[in-house]
């Protein structure tokens, strides 16, 4: 919904109060993503999934409003003042809240402040945990036989609240489901109040912690057991109370996914990590990102430009990576040329991802080997290599086997470096800590270069995680480093890596 201040705005900026949903990054609304895309400043709650922040522009200022046990939590007055200050500077501000801004999120206090200062705002609804729990925890919040109504209840009243507190007598007789928010520390009080008001102590209940996050945890119990169950838990937690909590079900589809509860470290370059991250999260993994290598343009395009000017002289243009495809064809366009420059040149790609990258430019590969290693590509090209001229688009480092074998088969080979592969030298401190403490279940290793860079970054700490290798070549490199992978992909592709994890 859209709300405008009653008085003429005096600030040039605008504030969006956006519900980020309960945790899973895909549960933010399309409108929420649109608002983030135009943000200059994002003020976000610590319970917001960090993946959601990727929808904001790279240059947007991202400000976390504090985290329990780690950093000081901002007061509501400080948050209100920041909204006014940034909007007063003419900035577009997104106030990103967990769940829905209108449900136990103090959204009303923020909109009242914005109205007083004549600041335009919009409220973007989000999925609240009570609604998500029905889908993600396998508990129907309503049920035709057990609950035709739902009450969303706070487990913690404001200290300075005027007027009556919750009417536990009414709640005890409520003919439906109770969903209690913010009730961890006060569980002994509110559960006792419900029981004393007439709610049966053996009323079914379910505790749901971190709903829709990869480490979501659920417990079935009874009302009189809730307080004991919550003693050792930290927020965010909701408690579902009522007959629906005992409805027999096969369990949560969310928690039955093959990688649920597993933390996986993805080490590919940041711009190429998305596909693997998505596939892992789809299967339930909690994913951390620590690029081991980075990709950048060559220091000089002189050699590449010289070769591209005589593309017509080659019989084959051979790509051994997706990066090579984008780098070479991007440079061709930068030179003011188009795909007609490839007329008469046959194209080879090492694997399905590389062939798919060619297809993005409406190019069809003439050859792809059945297996996806340099040796297999060389074997596929070798029978017709004699007298042929090959152009290999490659990285600044890598094995020489492809060029060597084509020359042995009688071909003329020219190689050009179309992108540089460089090691990342500074690890993310949080990733390094989790690795040392053994809290990362799996680490993906998708090339020999990544294997060597990981060793330089983390050394013996890699013994605290299980490694999954993309191919026998990468496995051999790991073994040279004294590391034994716990799994190896049957097919040297990203889906192959994911399958290897799912079947361990």
Which class is domain 263-292+424-502? alpha beta
Kindly give, in sequence order, each residue whose CB lies less than 8 Å from that of residue 387, ignoring residues fewer than 6 positions away.
410, 411
Residues 226 and 406: beta-carbon distance below 8 Å = no
Residue 8, pLDDT above cutoff 90? no
Structure tokens at 395: 């990285």
Cα–Cα distance between 169 and 153 in angstroms, integer? 13
Query: Rounded mean pLDDT of the chain?
Result: 93
User: 296-421 architecture in CATH?
Assistant: 3-Layer(aba) Sandwich (3.40)
pLDDT at 165: 78
Give pLDDT tens digits for 220-250: 999 999 999 999 999 899 999 999 999 866 6
Fold agreement (263-292+424-502, 296-421): yes
Cα–Cα distance between 435 and 416 in angstroms, integer? 37
Looking at residues 260-268, what average pLDDT do you find? 96
End-to-end CA distance of the chain: 47
Tell me phi and psi for residue 340, to 5 degrees: -65, -20
In the chain, where are the structural domains located?
A: 2-127, 131-246, 263-292+424-502, 296-421
Task: Name the pTM for this structure.
Answer: 0.83
Which class is domain 131-246? alpha beta
User: With respect to CATH, is domain 2-127 assigned 3.30.379.10?
Assistant: no
- Mapped onto helix, strand or coil, the DSSP state of residue 103 is coil
Q: What percent of the chain has pLDDT over 90?
A: 87
Cα–Cα distance between 18 and 232 in angstroms, integer? 31
Looking at residues 405-419, what average pLDDT do you find? 97
Place of tokens 């040039």: 12
Give pLDDT tens digits for 160-176: 655 557 999 999 999 99
Cα–Cα distance between 392 and 413 in angstroms, integer? 7
């Amino acid at each position: 919904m859209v709300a405008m201040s009653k008085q003429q705005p005096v600030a040039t900026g605008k504030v969006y109060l956006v519900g980020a949903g309960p945790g899973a990054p895909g549960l933010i609304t399309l409108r929420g993503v649109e608002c983030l895309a135009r943000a200059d400043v994002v003020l976000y709650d610590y319970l917001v999934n960090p993946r959601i922040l990727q929808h904001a522009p790279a240059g947007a200022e991202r400000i976390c409003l504090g985290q329990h046990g780690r950093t000081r939590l901002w007061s509501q007055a400080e948050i209100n003042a920041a909204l006014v200050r940034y909007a007063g500077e003419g900035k577009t501000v997104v106030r990103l809240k967990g769940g829905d801004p209108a449900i136990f999120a103090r959204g009303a206090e923020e909109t009242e402040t914005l109205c007083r200062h004549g600041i335009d705002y919009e409220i973007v609804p989000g999925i609240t945990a009570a609604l998500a729990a029905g889908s993600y925890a396998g508990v129907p919040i309503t049920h035709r036989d057990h609950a035709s109504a739902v009450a969303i209840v706070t487990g913690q009243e404001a200290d300075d609240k005027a007027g009556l507190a919750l009417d536990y007598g009414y709640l005890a007789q409520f003919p439906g489901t109770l969903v209690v928010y913010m009730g961890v520390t006060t569980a002994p009080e509110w559960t006792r109040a419900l029981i004393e008001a007439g709610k049966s102590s053996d009323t079914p209940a379910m505790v749901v912690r971190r709903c829709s996050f990869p480490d979501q945890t659920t417990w079935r119990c009874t009302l009189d057991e809730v307080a004991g169950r919550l003693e050792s838990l930290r927020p965010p937690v909701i408690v579902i109370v009522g007959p629906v909590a005992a409805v027999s079900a096969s369990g949560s589809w969310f928690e039955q996914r093959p990688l649920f509860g597993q933390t996986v470290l993805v080490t590919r370059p940041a711009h190429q990590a998305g596909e693997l991250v998505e596939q892992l999260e789809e299967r339930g993994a909690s994913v951390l990102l620590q690029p081991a290598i980075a990709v950048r343009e060559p220091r000089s395009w002189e050699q590449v430009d010289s070769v591209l000017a005589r593309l017509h002289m080659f019989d084959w243009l051979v790509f051994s990576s997706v990066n090579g495809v984008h780098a070479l064809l991007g440079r061709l366009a930068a030179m003011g040329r188009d795909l007609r420059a490839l007329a008469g040149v046959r194209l080879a790609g090492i694997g399905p991802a590389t062939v798919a990258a060619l297809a993005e430019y409406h190019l069809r590969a003439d050859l792809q080997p059945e297996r996806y290693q340099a040796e297999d590509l060389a074997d596929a090209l070798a029978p017709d290599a004699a007298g042929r001229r090959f152009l290999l688009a490659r990285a600044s480092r890598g094995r020489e086997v492809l060029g060597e074998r084509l020359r042995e088969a009688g071909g003329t080979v020219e190689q050009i470096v179309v992108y540089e592969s460089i090691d990342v030298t500074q690890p993310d401190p949080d990733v390094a800590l989790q690795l040392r403490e053994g809290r990362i279940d799996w680490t993906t290793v998708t090339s020999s270069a990544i294997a060597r860079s990981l060793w330089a970054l983390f050394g013996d700490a890699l013994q605290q995680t299980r490694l999954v290798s993309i191919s026998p070549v990468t496995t051999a490199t790991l073994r040279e480093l004294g590391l034994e992978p716990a799994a190896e992909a049957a097919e040297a592709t990203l889906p192959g890596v994911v399958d290897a994890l799912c079947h361990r």
